[in-house]
Structure 1
Amino acid sequence: MATSWLILDIGNSAVKWGQFANGVLRDTGRLELDRSDFAHPAAWQAALKDVLPDAGVRAGIVSVVPDANAPAQAAVTASTGAPARVLQTEGWLPFTLAYKTPQTLGTDRLAAAAAAWLDYGMATEANPARSVLAVDAGTALTIEVVRHDATYLGGVIAPGPRLLRDALATGGAQLPAIDLNVPAHPTGTSTEHALQSGIMHGFAGMAEGLVARLEATLPDTPRILLTGGAASLLQDTLPRIDAHVPHLVLRGAYRLLVNRMEEDLAQSG
């Protein structure tokens, strides 16, 4: 079985990739690919040409853009001769799924929850099991909740800074699109400054409030994991962060896909 994996994380605003060797995340990056190119296998193949190192690599995809899956799979197969498996909610999971609508659960959320539980929540010889909150700050702010008895409960989905900015610029006739910088003072002394304060400090306050509300619903004190491109905005805001874990979605997608492949091989054998 090949031990080298490429995982593609297809998001709404970017495509991230991670290369795993013998279970270790060795390298990461972003593909030079516009959203308008998602439907074209040739564009995927061009973007992947320097990322796919050899024909022995296995590939998996975690995606929130369903229309991009088939073109991405076709490009990977054309480059490696092997299929790329798209992560689904069905199959092996490290916890019980208590989500009422699993068919609508984003696999990026599922992957983040799986990585958080496997690495920080599940019982070990040294520590008992503990609930986890996986906070992913990106285009959207998502927080996944896994209870200490290995039950994925669900979580929250809220807008990230970019979506907040775009909503204000679209919905307000006199409100400009602004750079997403954190102002030094919360009181805006200009329209741009006021927007920056509302968006950036508002986003941080929203995240802090949501984490506190979710934490209060759990029977134990959860471990709080932070990831995502906007994580730096929350590192000094959340009162407690147990670990900043870059690429939590890539890590979780890899673990789920490898275990599901092994499960399939065991069933077929």
Structure 2
Amino acid sequence: MLLAVDAGNTNIVFALVESGQIRARWRIATDPRRTADEYAVWLSQLLGLEGFTMATVTGVIIGTVVPRALHNLQVLAQKYFKTEAVIAGKGDAGWGFQLDVEEPEQLGADRALNCIAAHANHPGDLIIIDFGTATTFDVIDFKGTYKGGVIAPGINLSLDALVTAAAKLPRIAIEAPHGNNSVIGRNTVDQMQIGIYWGYVAMIEGLVARTKAEIGRPSKVIATGGLAVLFEKQTPVFDVIEPDLTIQGLAMLWERSKV
């Protein structure tokens, strides 16, 4: 069984994948100082709770946007799973699609993996929105060529910046404002929720509209990332929500690397 590891700026997701299906997944805060031994203790207990053992894992693939986290994850694969981890984007696990941008080497692994899975699952031109530490928009044409995208602050980063810079503003939960969807807040908390939430919805809708106009052809919008469901009921802009797009991309890249 494959252990797919998606190491992001905020969290690392470990997923057990069998025949393209996710059997279990776990999430831990990203900390480059965490050792292979610490990962192993944590994972062995979680595997046991799901009825698996360390021996269940026969292959490991890692996609990371945190270079400092990579070494200890590779040691984890070597020491505890007795295998060399495949690194997404390297060697036989190269991306396998054309990057029509000025600095192709700068494309983050998570975004590339999203592109692999999205293009495999959906025909035509695609706009992929990933709600993570940053909110990214990626554009793939109908041939599977990466054309570029947008990087915006994630909604949690936006809220953190607002609360940190304004001494009298409280920390609030990120959620759709209650009531009648009014954008005229009657108190401080409501005004903050409106600004953060509806402001973010407006950004998403505005960027998607501009991107579609620039593409000039019908385009499907695919949302992924943990916070995608936060906006699902409040905007019709998403055609599909696929929370596990990055893990799907890792599993597909693993299969391709073994051919």
Alpha-carbon separation, structure 2, partners of 1:40 and 1:27: 22
After superposition, where does 1:1-269 map in structure 2 within 5 Å?
4-31=1-28, 34-36=29-31, 38-49=33-44, 50-51=46-47, 53-55=53-55, 56-88=57-89, 92-121=94-123, 130-184=124-178, 185-262=182-259
1:126 counterpart residue number = none
Q: Quote the offset at 1:23 in angstroms.
A: 2.4
Alpha-carbon separation, structure 2, partners of 1:9 and 1:38: 17
Q: Is the 8 Å Cα contact of residues 131 and 147 (structure 1) preserved in structure 2?
A: yes
Q: Is the 8 Å Cα contact of residues 39 and 67 (structure 1) preserved in structure 2?
A: no
Alpha-carbon separation, structure 2, partners of 1:138 and 1:227: 9
Give the TM-score normalised by the residue count of structure 1. Answer: 0.85
| 3-state SS of paired residue (2:143) | coil
Q: For each residue in 1:202-254, what CA deviation from the matched residue of structure 2 results, as whole angstroms up to 9, or x when unmatched? A: 11111111111111111320111111111122213443432211210111122
User: Residues 58 and 163 of structure 1: is their aligned pair in 2 closer, same or farther, counting only changes over 3 Å?
Assistant: same
RMSD, matched Cα: 2.0
Give the length in aligned residue pairs. 249
| 3-state SS of paired residue (1:205) | helix
User: Residues 86 and 94 of structure 1: is their aligned pair in 2 closer, same or farther, counting only changes over 3 Å?
Assistant: closer
Give the TM-score normalised by the residue count of structure 2. Answer: 0.88
User: Which runs of 5 or more residues in structure 2 are unaligned?
Assistant: none
Q: Quote the offset at 1:183 in angstroms.
A: 1.3
Alpha-carbon separation, structure 2, partners of 1:238 and 1:194: 20
Q: Quote the offset at 1:36 in angstroms.
A: 4.0
User: Which runs of 5 or more residues in structure 1 are unaligned?
Assistant: 122-129, 263-269
Alpha-carbon separation, structure 1, partners of 2:106 and 2:254: 19
Q: Quote the offset at 1:5 in angstroms.
A: 0.7
Identical positions, percent: 30
